[in-house]
Structure 1
Amino acid sequence: MNRFAVGPMTTPEYNEWWVRRINDNTHKSNQENSQSIEEYLLVIPSELEIIRQDFERRNANLEKKIEQMEEVKMNLRLDIDVQKLETEKLRKGKNKAEEELEI
């Protein structure tokens, strides 16, 4: 706030009151239990830090699930390969038996 005074309109008492009024509006910290802003910010994580930690936790969980699903997928492919081999073996046996019956 700017003050504009012309000549002797302000008295020394007024000036003294004005300075005290401005100084009374400033925040005075308690030095006994005070932390520096850096320490305070280190102790209390920001909202962004909390969101980042939550994202990393969820991401780690999803990565574990993906690994498990890939393992299951690989096992299912192996089962399919085994089933195909058994089916082919049975088909060959069936064809051989049919040929023997025809002869």
Structure 2
Amino acid sequence: MLEEEKIQLGLDVDVQNLEVEKIRKGKNKAKKDLDSLKIDYKKLRLLMRTARMGKTSK
């Protein structure tokens, strides 16, 4: 009976480790996506600023 519980606990730990790894991978992907969005936003802001400078003032 004790051996059975030990095996069950080992399996529980393995499942939890897999879940943690899955969450970690998702977090890393989200962080990369956020960094990419920040870069795109900075580029867009620069393009908007550049486009406004090219306009003629009235």
**Partners in 2 of 1:73 and 1:102 — Cα distance?**
46
TM-superposed deviation, 1:84 = 0.5
TM-score, normalization by structure 1: 0.51
Aligned residues: 57
Root-mean-square deviation (Å): 1.3
Structure 2 residue runs without a partner (length 5+): none
Aligned-partner SS, 1:101: coil
- Looking at secondary structure, tell me which structure has more helix per residue: 2
2:23 is aligned to: 69
Structure 1 residue runs without a partner (length 5+): 1-46
TM-score, normalization by structure 2: 0.86
Equivalent residues in 2 for 1:13-24, closer than 5 Å: none
Equivalent residues in 2 for 1:21-60, closer than 5 Å: 47-60=1-14
In structure 2, give the amino acid aligned to 1:54.
Q
Instruction: Determine which structure has more spread, i.e. the larger CA radius of gyration.
Output: 1
Ranges of 4+ aligned residues in structure 1 off by more than 4 Å: none
